[in-house]
Amino acid sequence: MAGCNPMMERVDRLYEQWVDFIDDPTARVLRWVVDIDELQVVETFVGVESSDAGQTADLFVRLTLPFVRPDTFALELWNELVVTAKGAEGGALAQWKPPAPSRDGIAALVSACSSLVDYVRRDGLPLDHLVLVLLPSAVSETSAWGTWLETMGAAIADASVRVMVTDDVDAPFVSPRAPTTKIRSVRADLDMAGARLEVSAQAGGLDQPPGAFRHAFTKMLNAIAARDLSTATVVGAEAMKVAAAQGWWQLSVAVLFGLGSGHLTSSPTTAIDFFGRAESLAGAQPQDPSSRTLQIKCRLGMGSCAYQAGAFAKAAELYAATAALARADDDARTELDCRRLASHCFDRAGQTREAWDAGLAAIEVGVRMDRETRESSTLAYAGAQQLELCRRRSYGHYRNGIERTMQELLGPSWQVHGAPSPVAT
């Protein structure tokens, strides 16, 4: 395996952790605790091992069924396993017939796994372990998910059957309680910030403007990820200095936008200053085709800052002004979002009439969209907001008309897309 490529070296670390898990005779479930960057490396590891380039004799079966109903999840996984396995290995497992599932879903799933191991080995294919890679697309009950994994791990007697899951280091959902648990928790600890700096250093040219900017920008992003905003601001200024000297205004905007995003939750007033500087810089380049798009992004950031600070009237004004800019840029999706967000913010500010008008304007944008764009937009949220406003006495008589319009635009089941309206962008 590669040793000089920093990213591949991180994959190598995962292989070492994997071998340690496999060599543990009592462990059945590997819980890899990762941050967002490390999750991508785990995905790479699983992708490699699921392909012909895999370096182990383990069969990885990736299952993504959402964990919604704990009582039936194992049986649902049984079905997903059967379908996925039969299509794996180029169809080599298509003739495998698992035992009929029993009422005990976990027992049925474990039995199917052992059956698959036997089938593969009987067919002459090399196999050390069958690995269920459980990456549910959603987890409705985190405590129940942890309990389910412990029950699953305890039910697996065959050491050839293993389970792999990932867990968020910042918001873990599994906390093994008993010392005899078969869940092995491993902090990936890949130092992805260091890897990015190593990649930048290996690219060379750090004494030249492109390399100097790249390295400072990388340091800034690392500091933001580590929530070290003081360092991020200092190295961001270094990157800005290089970009300004070279006339790279787009890169200066990127630095300011990054600093604004980094400060958004902790200091909205500081963030809005960074976004505002970025917007002014982009606006000073009207001849550049990217200018307006960058202005829109910066103004959306400013709107989010105002919302975070509770300045709802200010946020509404920013979103309304940005909607006009998006329309001039022929960006219907962003225009709809801006008018919808303006409506929500006006309502939070107690300006019901302005909220109503902005909401109607959002629906009108949906009318102008083609069908495909409309159905994948946030128009349903705009409609849901407008119906909420119809609860007010002054607007109740408009309810039937709004519902009729939304049905014409999105169909009779349009409200299933509704739910709570997203605000921050």
Of 214, 215, 232, give the one whose Cα is nearest residue 223. Answer: 232
User: Residue 420 — very low, low, confident or very high, per pLDDT cuts 50/70/90?
Assistant: very low
Residue-wise pLDDT for 219-274, tens only, equals 999 999 999 999 999 999 999 999 999 999 999 999 999 999 999 999 999 999 99
Helix, strand and coil content of the chain, in percent to the nearest 5, comes to 60, 10, 30
Beta bridge partners of 60: 131
Q: Once rounded to an integer, what is the mean pLDDT over residues 84-100?
A: 82
What span, in angstroms and rounded, lies between the C-alpha atoms of 46 and 64? 13
Residue-wise pLDDT for 109-149, tens only, equals 999 999 999 999 987 778 999 999 999 988 888 889 999 99
Q: Where are the alpha helices (DSSP H) in 126-178?
A: 142-155
pLDDT surpasses 90 at 419: no
Beta bridge partners of 187: 33
Q: Write down the CATH number for the domain with range 6-190.
A: 3.40.50
Boundaries of every domain in the chain:
6-190, 191-309, 315-409
Q: Which architecture, in CATH terms, is 191-309?
A: Alpha Horseshoe (1.25)
